[in-house]
Amino acid sequence: MCGVISFSSTIDRIIFSLINKHQIKPEIHFEVTDEGGVYLNKEGKYIFINAFEEKLQRKIVYDSHEYTYRRVIEMEIRKYQRFVDCDVKYKPYKHY
């Protein structure tokens, strides 16, 4: 799960960016369940999904080539799959 975990910081950055830019407001876009859980409401999910999709379309340099985040994630999944299936050494992508 190393490769998957390395992308969790991307999700965190999206969330914090939306909150810091006041695009998602805790008092408007979250709901609390009777069990005490806190979740994005429908409007909050819509805002997050749009920001996430925008992020996936952004280009980054990876192995000296320009790719979208979406493509890098796909490549990482394939690398990890080869590691699991074929015992090929796996070096996860590091996002800084």
Q: Which domains does the chain have, with CATH numbers?
A: 2-86 (1.20.120.920)
The model carries a pTM of 0.72
Amino acid, res. 6: S
> Hey, what are 62's tokens?
């990876």
The phi and psi torsions of 30 (rounded to 5 degrees) equal: -120, 155
Could you read off the pLDDT of 53-79 as tens digits, one per residue?
Answer: 999 999 988 888 999 989 988 888 888
pLDDT tens for residues 30-50? 999 999 999 999 999 999 999
